[in-house]
Structure 1
């Protein structure tokens, strides 16, 4: 079992199959990643106790040797189809459309440039035909590999037939120009640094002169003071001084009968 959904509880259950680690279920579809040859075979899907079957075919084509072939060499073509029913046939077809022997393996002897191209491995299953392509490259005999001749040794010195200069003469000239360019760049950078320093010092001197002139002008200006013209307050009465008592009224004569 790979995957199961319980109809009563709706819970998902993973089976013990090894392919479960490389597969996942989306809705009702099973997606397998990194397909291997051992994954080929018949898969069963049961829904509402009704089984449905699907066969997975794994096809692989290869050539031995796989690299570009020189004319006159031998090569073997392999077409392996896993999952086919017993008795199924595999047919190879050449680039010119000519069919070859009905077999999963084809041996080509003394290949020629006409054998280069796309070879097709075709097979039938369940009333349908499937195919897989394989490209074969054969080297053109007219194309020659140009190799440089080894240097001639005369009097224990290496000679170069296409050039009269020494091997490292070009490298020496290039290094000389490189050093000149580096020295000129360093000189320009040094001059820029000196110019920046001189300008900074001049700017500081100007600021100091302006500050001195400003301080001298402030010392020449007369100082101003604030005066208050407010009236003086009345003197407060002294403490301990008593007010004078009023004099007694004069005595009136007493009238008698």
Structure 2
């Protein structure tokens, strides 16, 4: 035992001195790795290789870069700083041996990817595989944890029949955890109710597309003959129903994806019961959904009764009659709303036109007004004597001739004034 220990330490020391110790790195797809040359002198050249193919060379004194021929050189974000090489956005093809030429230090990189077969969206209780793929020959320890975090398997490939959604985790060497989310789906359906003589959609659908390809399917019911229903088929035209509309069942003729509904018409009390929708997928997987149908019989008098959750039965069957997929009262409400809306639009247009005419009339009246012009007015000289004021008045309003003769008014005290006026005239 002492001899073995001595040999081990000697080999370790020799490896350290030679600088060729091989370090193993594990990283998931899309991650980043960082590798250091170790013991590199300042301002010295730096060169990296990938599987003996040059990636990049940097001259220590000048800083000039020379790119090699390895595909690693084309990585966006590739960086070399003081002898440390950083490779981002890892892909599976980036797994291999990275070597620092100056020191001879090597890194063996394994890029790990996790995936589910046939895909991350799986059918309920169908066969599936979880893969924790480590690129290259690796002896890494792998462990699968279920959505509760409990270890369930110790190999890279884990087979299971999922029954619910959850996040599974692949643990590599107890330090690298990579998660894989699984979505498990089944057929959606529900119980339905229809009045006697009416029609109802029998629901059957997937909540989302799945990885498995749909290969076929059908509807069955013990109370109806099998030829009443179409069959689901997948051909060059895509997934569609095959068959013809019957007196009891109608269906869409278009291409299908995740909806496999059919419509039951002229429902009768004898049609009540269980209806089964079956969809088959590639690989032998199969999903089944059951729908219970209840037919509400007409009351005495032949009037149809339709049950609406939270409301009382309607008083008359005429208003609830289907017209182009909608009940009659809905069409009436739409028509009334349309009439009101059109009336409002007409009123708004008429008001706008009236306002325009009023504005035009106002502008026309304003343009017809004559502008005010300056006029000459006689203004009195308030600073003169009373005689001057009186004379100004006489000029504005001439005195009749019979009042100007001094002989006709001998006793007039203002005779002298009249005489002066006469002289002025």
- Aligned mates of 2:85, 2:362 — CA distance in 1: 77
Shift in Å, 1:200: 2.5
TM-score when normalising by structure 2: 0.40
**Aligned residue among 114, 132, 151 for 1:99:** 151
Which whole-Å CA distance do the structure 2 matches of 1:30 and 1:193 have between them? 78
Is 1:184 matched up with 2:230? no
Cα distance change, pair 204–182 in 1 and its aligned pair in 2 (3 A): same
Q: Give the match for residue 86 of structure 1.
A: 138
Instruction: Give the match for residue 119 of structure 1.
Output: 168
Task: Give the C-alpha shift of residue 201 in structure 1.
Answer: 2.4
1:132 aligns with 2:178: yes
Q: Which runs of 4+ in 1 moved over 6 A?
A: none
Q: Which moved more, 1:131-140 or 1:100-109?
A: 131-140
Looking at structure 2, the residues matched to 168 and 36 of structure 1 have their Cα atoms a distance apart, in angstroms, of 60
Q: How far apart are 1:69 and its partner, in Å?
A: 4.1
1:137 to partner: Cα distance:
3.1
Structure index of larger Rg: 1
3-state SS of the aligned residue for 2:356?
helix
Cα distance 1:104–1:67, how it changes in 2: closer, same or farther (>3 A)? closer
**2:96 touches 2:110 (CA, 8 Å); kept in 1?**
yes
Rounded Cα–Cα distance in structure 2 between residues aligned with 1:193 and 1:68: 65
RMSD of aligned residue pairs (Cα, Å): 3.5
Q: TM-score, normalised by structure 1?
A: 0.63
Q: Is there any run of 5+ residues in structure 1 with no aligned partner, and where?
A: 222-257
Residue 248 of structure 1 corresponds to none
Number of residue pairs matched? 201
Structure 2: where are the runs of 5+ without partners? 1-53, 193-199, 202-262, 268-303, 309-319, 322-326, 378-425
1:155-170 alignment runs, 5 A limit: 163-164=320-321, 165-166=327-328, 168-170=331-333
How far did residue 196 of structure 1 move?
2.6
Q: How does 1:172-251 map to 2 (within 5 A)?
A: 172-206=335-369, 209-210=370-371, 213-214=372-373, 217=374
